[in-house]
């Protein structure tokens, strides 16, 4: 191979060289460890290395890939007892380092860039000693090198850290920390924001990798980097603000949070986590000064993350920043209040309302003579973010404040506007209460102090009921997580349930009151879960007695039935029997709402919420079936959905002895398949499926016979009217789809034959259902199975009546389009009659156009993704190494092609500028900081000038536009200024455009007389 490679180095033999490289790589990968100790093996391997910096892109990439495969995929590395790194790594380093050190500070060393690209995939395979020497060489070149070299070097280091190198082999935590500190000397100038963005991404990945190796070193190095970021907020360009905040938030969330989770003593103030957190807060607090005004948007985003991560650990150091941030709200200096709200909300979620209000008090006492509550904007923020805090704080701080506001709102000596203000404040304070009841930390100690007040307010203050009931639901839901608190709520259920029952049974006088009733019902259902069985039994007995009494209004009857249904999970067998009789009595009630609620009572019993209900249904299954069959004649439309759900629940528990009941329910469900109510349709389809499953359950040894019986029961509907036929077709489609694979081909053929017969019907309702069945065939059948039916299916589709063909032309077109996509245009067009072939041609053109648009859209999305990825924050928002090399490479193809000079576009090489402050300021290239004064953008480039406004501007900033009529009235000898002429021309053009509105002429003849010319003749 080596001889061949030496003989055929001419560009004409590139393909041969590529094949030889692949062959050599395969041979080297199969060698054992002993063979790599021989010098001849390393000599053969060394012949590959010059090609990793070859000028031919494809050859260079192939050689780099081959060397990488040798280092990673060799037999040596896969064998038992493999060395930590490949024996050929020293040879690679010995070849690469001289190439890197040959870089120039003024020219663009393409070879060095090739080497950086090679290191992106191989540097993580080196041992630590070789990594250190490679880092030294790279940093030496980057110190005073070309900006492109610096950029590619940073990208290489970023890729190296992102690969998560092994800390025991490749990169120790100490070396990682040393490299981070060394990179501070190679920080670009802040004017070169693109290169600075790359440096930020590299430092981010370096610190993330350091945290993987050592939490202590990460915490020691993080504050210094945060200080650098804060300084850049003050002195950097606006283009960097977002990248800085993204890097900072990533380090806090991804790294510092992990350190806090591993901390042994979360309360110690001498731990490294605490001291590092305090230093970070001190640096961040500098960014709240006025000098950082332009970056405050991103600063506050970073502060929100800081509150979330460090809020609980460093609470005592958060008070002053919180106060400063709150002062931004409503100030003239900073107007983006939404970002301030976001930061305060993060503090409330993490540190709790008590700490936040200590730093940012509400300044409300209930004794204000002035109604200017400057901190009232915090109440909605507290409402949306309070959770898992002390309930006692609401009792001691907010409850007295709400009482004071209530007294002021009830005062008769104050104007209505003032009392209304205090009423709104009272409601806003009570809106905080549900948050305090979401996982409270002191429930058992604090809830008894406020329970009596809650009951009183539920009765006397209707406008607070929604908040109080929401809080009670939060408490009970959280109690199921904390079982120790359940007995406490059980004790208070006897006080709250009667109050809630009275609220629900009271008649609503407005839409708001109806919402309160529904909330009360939800709270009742929640309370019943923790209530005592005896209490629930007593309440049910009282409700049923009231229901059976003759003196009860219709509204009360509806409410009592709902309340009885909500208590079913705590009922004894006797009460379940009593509830069943209540529902049975009202199944044929003339009041449609009462009948609907009666069916819901039976539905709740049949749902088996408790073992008691299950035993009752099993014992009374025959009676329930007979009751539901007998009540069919008196069913109202609103009761269909709960009735069908009752039937479905019973069918799932029926035995084969109740087969006739199941078939009766099936016939009823088929008739409900096309009703307008969505819940009824859903229940009907579920019954069709449920009957099929029951038939299979009754004869599991022969499911084909079960499906055959189901289909035979359904196909009986073809003998009915058009509505029944359409319902039957829809039911058959659902059954065939649900039980796909459980029936024979003969059943499917019989159904298809019946549907194809009725598809030629002149009735639109039947044809619509048949077309739905045909569309379902694409899902039910495979391509091979569907192809067997094309000979009969397509001619039947084409034999539709003229009226149905026109009415369902779009559905028909969609079906033919699917057939053409699935089987091809040539196979379908031959089966179509002549009158349909134009449609097929049109469909083919549409499909071809869709494919072209789809390809163009995918190409555009790929391009947009590339642009978005290249501009990702914290990452390299500039060209990668491959793009830079592509623009600097002279040969872009491995083929020798003669190109005319005129057809090639001239590419501008990447430039570099040296920034000097004066004649005496000379850059010392031996200094490690010299790279900061070498820029990739021209520092003296003049910014793009904006077009000058053609109109005069007054002292207060308004445009002065002269009226053209007044301009014409000027004296002929008085010359007009350029501004006035421009204004006159613009106004004249606008007036001309305004006069060209299109109007419908009243008389064609008048138009011809007036214009003299016309675009067309009048009526002849």
CA-to-CA dists, residue 712 to 681, 758, 949, angstroms: 22, 17, 83
Q: How high is the pLDDT of residue 929?
A: 56
* pLDDT interval class at 903 (50, 70, 90): very low
Structure tokens belonging to residue 507: 């008649």
Q: How high is the pLDDT of residue 482?
A: 65
CA-to-CA dists, residue 835 to 71, 576, 761, 841, 843, angstroms: 68, 67, 20, 11, 14
933: left (phi over 0), alpha (psi -120 to 50) or beta: alpha
Structure tokens belonging to residue 471: 């809080």
Summarize pLDDT for 797-816 with one digit per residue, the tens. 888 888 888 898 899 889 88
Q: Say how far apart CA 303 and CA 301 lie, in whole Å.
A: 5
DSSP letters along 617-644, please?
HHHTHHHHHHHHHHGGGG--GGGHHHHH
Residue of 148 and 950 predicted with greater confidence = 148
- Map 493-510 to HEC letters: HHHHHHHHHHHHHCCCCC
What b/e sequence results for 310-344 when a residue is b if at least 16 CB atoms lie within 10 Å of its CB, and e otherwise? bbebbbebbeebbeebbebbeeeebeeeebbbebb
- pLDDT at residue 949 is higher than 60: no
Q: How high is the pLDDT of residue 360?
A: 94
* pLDDT interval class at 663 (50, 70, 90): very high
CA-to-CA dists, residue 163 to 70, 171, 881, angstroms: 18, 11, 17
Summarize pLDDT for 502-561 with one digit per residue, the tens. 999 998 888 788 899 999 999 999 999 989 989 999 999 988 888 887 678 888 889 999
- pLDDT at residue 9 is higher than 50: yes
Cα–Cα nearest to 951, from 924, 915, 977, 921: 977
Q: Mean pLDDT lowest for which of 247-256, 451-460, 501-510, 725-734?
A: 501-510
* pLDDT interval class at 22 (50, 70, 90): confident
CA-to-CA dists, residue 1002 to 581, 999, 1007, 1011, angstroms: 77, 9, 8, 14
Q: How high is the pLDDT of residue 996?
A: 43
Structure-derived torsion over alpha carbons of residues 1014, 1016, 1017, 1020, reported in degrees to the nearest 10 = -160
CA-to-CA dists, residue 371 to 375, 425, 435, angstroms: 11, 11, 26
- pLDDT at residue 626 is higher than 60: yes
Q: How high is the pLDDT of residue 218?
A: 95
Q: How high is the pLDDT of residue 687?
A: 94
| Cβ pair 923, 916 in contact under 8 A | yes
| Cβ pair 635, 600 in contact under 8 A | no
Q: Say how far apart CA 556 and CA 554 lie, in whole Å.
A: 5
| Cα 901 from chain centre | 51
Mean pLDDT of 399-424: 89
| Cβ pair 432, 379 in contact under 8 A | yes
* pLDDT interval class at 208 (50, 70, 90): very high
For 97, other C-beta atoms within 10 Å of its C-beta total 17
Mean pLDDT of 719-731: 93
Structure tokens belonging to residue 630: 């007998």
Kindly state the helix (H) or strand (E) to which residue 959 belongs, with its residue range.
strand 959-960
Instruction: Mention every residue, 6+ apart, whose C-beta is less than 8 A from residue 150.
Output: 142, 186, 188, 195, 931, 934
What are φ and ψ of residue 365, in 5° steps? -130, -10
- pLDDT at residue 883 is higher than 60: no
| Cβ pair 25, 19 in contact under 8 A | no
* Strand pairing category for 952-953 and 913-914: unpaired
Per cent of the chain over pLDDT 70 is: 82
CA-to-CA dists, residue 995 to 411, 970, 990, angstroms: 64, 25, 9
Instruction: Mention every residue, 6+ apart, whose C-beta is less than 8 A from residue 413.
Output: none
Across 64-78, 529-543, 931-945, the highest mean pLDDT is recorded for 529-543
Mean pLDDT of 459-471: 95
Burial of 70 (0-12, 13-18, 19+ CB in 10 A): buried
Q: How high is the pLDDT of residue 480?
A: 53
Instruction: Mention every residue, 6+ apart, whose C-beta is less than 8 A from residue 452.
Output: none
* Strand pairing category for 934-935 and 959-960: unpaired
Q: How high is the pLDDT of residue 55?
A: 83
Q: Mean pLDDT lowest for which of 64-78, 345-359, 561-575?
A: 64-78
Q: Mean pLDDT lowest for which of 255-269, 659-673, 944-958?
A: 944-958
Cα–Cα nearest to 800, from 828, 769, 829, 767: 767
- pLDDT at residue 43 is higher than 80: yes
| Cβ pair 46, 2 in contact under 8 A | no
Structure tokens belonging to residue 365: 């006492």
Structure tokens belonging to residue 89: 């790594």
Nearest-10 crossing angle of helices 378-385, 416-430: 30
Summarize pLDDT for 1001-1017 with one digit per residue, the tens. 434 344 434 333 343 43
Residue with tokens 């607070």: 464
Q: Is the dihedral of CA 330, 334, 336, 338 positive or negative?
A: negative
Q: How high is the pLDDT of residue 10?
A: 59
| Cβ pair 718, 725 in contact under 8 A | yes
- pLDDT at residue 610 is higher than 70: yes
Q: How high is the pLDDT of residue 950?
A: 54
Calculate the average pLDDT of the chain: 82
- pLDDT at residue 888 is higher than 80: no
Q: Is the dihedral of CA 478, 482, 487, 488 positive or negative?
A: negative
- pLDDT at residue 275 is higher than 60: yes
- pLDDT at residue 899 is higher than 90: no
| Cβ pair 66, 25 in contact under 8 A | yes
Structure tokens belonging to residue 434: 């549900």
Q: Say how far apart CA 233 and CA 200 lie, in whole Å.
A: 13
Helix-strand-coil percent breakdown of the chain, rounded to 5? 70, 0, 30
| Cα 669 from chain centre | 39
Structure tokens belonging to residue 338: 């939404």
Q: How high is the pLDDT of residue 911?
A: 56
Q: How high is the pLDDT of residue 88?
A: 87
Residue with tokens 């409402």: 383
- pLDDT at residue 752 is higher than 60: yes
What are φ and ψ of residue 318, in 5° steps? -95, -10
- pLDDT at residue 76 is higher than 70: yes
Mean pLDDT of 192-212: 92
Residue with tokens 């190296």: 160
- pLDDT at residue 1 is higher than 70: no
Summarize pLDDT for 908-937 with one digit per residue, the tens. 445 555 666 555 555 555 555 555 556 656
- pLDDT at residue 893 is higher than 70: no
| Cβ pair 244, 225 in contact under 8 A | no
| Cα 568 from chain centre | 40
Instruction: Mention every residue, 6+ apart, whose C-beta is less than 8 A from residue 987.
Output: 961, 963, 964
* pLDDT interval class at 319 (50, 70, 90): very high
Instruction: Mention every residue, 6+ apart, whose C-beta is less than 8 A from residue 853.
Output: none
Longest CA–CA separation in the chain, Å: 113
For the chain, what are the domain ranges?
A: 211-361, 366-491+521-531
pTM: 0.76
Summarize pLDDT for 324-377 with one digit per residue, the tens. 999 999 888 898 999 999 999 999 999 999 999 999 999 887 776 667 788 999
Q: How high is the pLDDT of residue 989?
A: 46
Q: How high is the pLDDT of residue 608?
A: 82
Q: Say how far apart CA 480 and CA 488 lie, in whole Å.
A: 12
Summarize pLDDT for 688-710 with one digit per residue, the tens. 999 999 999 998 888 899 999 99
Q: What angle do CA 220, 225, 227 make, to 5 degrees?
A: 110
DSSP letters along 921-951, please?
----TTSGGGGGGEESS-TTPPPPPPPPPSS
For 846, other C-beta atoms within 10 Å of its C-beta total 13
Q: How high is the pLDDT of residue 962?
A: 58
Structure tokens belonging to residue 202: 């590299």
Instruction: Mention every residue, 6+ apart, whose C-beta is less than 8 A from residue 621.
Output: 650, 653, 654, 658
Summarize pLDDT for 820-870 with one digit per residue, the tens. 888 888 888 888 888 888 888 888 888 889 889 988 888 888 777 655 554
| Cβ pair 203, 225 in contact under 8 A | yes
Q: How high is the pLDDT of residue 937?
A: 60
Nearest-10 crossing angle of helices 764-780, 809-823: 20
* pLDDT interval class at 104 (50, 70, 90): low
């Amino acid at each position: 191979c080596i001889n061949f490679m030496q003989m055929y180095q001419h560009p004409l033999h590139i393909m041969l060289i590529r094949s030889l490289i692949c062959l050599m790589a395969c041979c080297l990968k199969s060698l054992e460890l002993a063979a790599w100790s021989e010098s001849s093996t390393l000599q053969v391997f060394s012949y590959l290395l010059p090609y990793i910096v070859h000028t031919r892109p494809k050859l260079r990439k192939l050689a780099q890939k081959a060397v990488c495969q040798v280092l990673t995929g060799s037999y040596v590395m896969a064998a038992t007892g493999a060395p930590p790194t490949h024996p050929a790594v020293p040879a690679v380093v010995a070849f690469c380092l001289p190439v890197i050190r040959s870089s120039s500070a003024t020219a663009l060393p393409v070879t060095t860039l090739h080497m950086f690209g090679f290191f992106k995939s191989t540097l993580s395979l080196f041992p630590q000693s070789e990594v250190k020497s490679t880092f030294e060489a790279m940093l030496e070149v980057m110190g005073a090198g070309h900006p492109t070299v610096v950029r590619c070097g940073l990208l290489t280091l970023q890729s190296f850290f992102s690969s998560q190198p092994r800390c025991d082999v490749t990169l120790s935590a100490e070396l990682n920390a040393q490299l981070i500190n060394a990179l501070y000397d190679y920080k670009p100038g802040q004017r070169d924001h693109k290169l600075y963005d790359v440096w930020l991404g590299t430092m981010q990945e370096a610190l993330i990798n350091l945290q993987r190796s050592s939490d202590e070193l990460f915490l020691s190095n993080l504050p210094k980097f945060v200080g650098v970021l804060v300084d850049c907020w003050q002195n950097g360009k606006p283009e960097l603000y977002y990248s800085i905040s993204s890097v900072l938030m990533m380090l806090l969330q991804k790294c510092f949070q992990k350190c806090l989770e591993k901390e042994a003593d979360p309360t110690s103030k001498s731990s490294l986590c605490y001291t590092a957190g305090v230093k970070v807060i001190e640096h961040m607090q500098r960014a709240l000064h006025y000098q950082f005004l332009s970056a405050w948007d991103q600063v506050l985003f970073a502060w929100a993350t800081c509150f979330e991560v460090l809020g609980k650990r460093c609470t005592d150091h958060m008070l002053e920043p919180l106060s400063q941030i709150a002062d931004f709200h409503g100030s003239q200096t900073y107007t983006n209040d939404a970002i301030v709200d976001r930061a305060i909300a993060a503090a409330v979620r993490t540190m709790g309302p008590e700490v936040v209000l200590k730093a940012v008090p509400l300044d409300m006492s209930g004794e204000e003579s002035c109604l200017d509550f400057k901190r009232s904007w915090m109440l909605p923020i507290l409402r949306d973010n309070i959770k898992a805090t002390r309930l006692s704080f609401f009792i001691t701080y907010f409850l007295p404040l709400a009482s004071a506001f209530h007294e002021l709102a009830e005062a008769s000596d104050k104007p209505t506007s003032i009392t209304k203000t205090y009423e709104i404040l009272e409601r806003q304070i009570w809106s905080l209460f549900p948050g305090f009841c979401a996982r409270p930390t002191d429930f058992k100690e604090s809830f008894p102090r406020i329970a009596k007040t809650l009951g009183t307010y539920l009765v006397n203050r209707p406008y607070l009921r929604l908040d109080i009931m929401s809080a009670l639901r939060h408490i009970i839901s959280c109690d199921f997580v904390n079982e120790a608190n359940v007995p406490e709520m059980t004790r208070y259920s006897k006080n709250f349930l009667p109050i809630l029952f009275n609220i629900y049974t009271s008649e609503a006088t407005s839409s708001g009151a109806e919402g309160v009733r529904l909330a009360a019902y939800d709270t009742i259902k929640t309370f019943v879960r923790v209530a005592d069985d005896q209490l629930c039994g007593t309440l049910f007995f009282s409700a049923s007695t009231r229901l059976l009494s003759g003196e009860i209004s219709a509204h009360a009857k509806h409410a009592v039935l709902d309340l009885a249904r909500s208590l079913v999970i705590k009922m004894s067998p006797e009460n379940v029997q009593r509830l069943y009789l209540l529902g049975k009595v009202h199944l044929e009630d003339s009041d449609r709402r009462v009948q609907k609620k009666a069916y819901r009572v039976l539905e709740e019993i049949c749902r088996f919420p408790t073992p008691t209900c299950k035993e009752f249904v099993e014992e009374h299954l025959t009676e329930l079936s007979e009751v539901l069959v007998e009540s069919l004649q008196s069913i109202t439309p609103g009761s269909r959905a709960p009735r069908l759900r009752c039937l479905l629940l019973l069918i799932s528990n029926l035995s084969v002895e109740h087969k006739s009941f199941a078939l009766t329910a099936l016939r009823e469900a088929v008739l409900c398949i096309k009703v307008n109510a969505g819940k009824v349709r859903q229940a009907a389809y579920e019954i069709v499926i449920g009957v099929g499953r029951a038939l299979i359950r009754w004869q599991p040894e022969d499911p084909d016979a079960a499906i055959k019986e189901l289909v035979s029961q359904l196909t009986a509907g073809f003998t009915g009217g058009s509505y029944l036929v359409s319902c039957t077709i829809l039911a058959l489609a659902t059954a065939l789809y649900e039980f796909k694979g459980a029936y024979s081909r003969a059943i499917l053929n019989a159904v298809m034959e019946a549907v194809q017969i009725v598809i030629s019907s002149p009735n639109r309702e039947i044809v619509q259902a048949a077309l739905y069945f045909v569309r379902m065939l694409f899902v039910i059948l495979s391509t091979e199975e569907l192809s067997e039916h094309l000979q009969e299916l397509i001619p039947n589709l084409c034999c539709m009546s003229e009226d149905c063909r026109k009415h369902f032309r779009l559905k028909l077109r969609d079906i033919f389009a699917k057939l053409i996509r699935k089987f091809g245009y040539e196979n379908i067009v031959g089966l179509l009659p002549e009158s349909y072939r134009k449609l097929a041609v049109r469909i083919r053109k549409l499909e071809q156009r869709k494919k072209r648009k789809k390809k163009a859209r995918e190409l555009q999305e790929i391009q947009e993704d590339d642009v978005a990825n290249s501009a990702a924050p914290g990452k390299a928002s500039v060209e990668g190494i491959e793009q830079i090399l592509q623009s600097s490479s002279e040969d872009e193809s491995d083929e020798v092609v003669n190109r005319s000079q005129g057809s090639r576009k001239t590419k501008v090489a990447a430039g570099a500028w040296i920034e000097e402050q004066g004649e005496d300021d000379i850059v010392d290239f031996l200094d490690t900081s010299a790279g900061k004064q070498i820029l990739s953008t021209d520092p003296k480039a003049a910014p793009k000038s904006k077009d000058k406004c053609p109109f005069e501007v007054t002292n207060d900033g308004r445009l002065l536009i002269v009226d053209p009529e007044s301009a014409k009235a000027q004296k002929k000898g008085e010359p007009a200024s350029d501004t006035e002429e421009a204004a006159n021309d613009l106004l004249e053009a606008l007036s001309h455009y305004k006069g060209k509105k299109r109007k419908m002429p009243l008389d064609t003849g008048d138009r011809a007389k007036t214009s003299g010319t016309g675009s067309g003749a009048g009526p002849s």
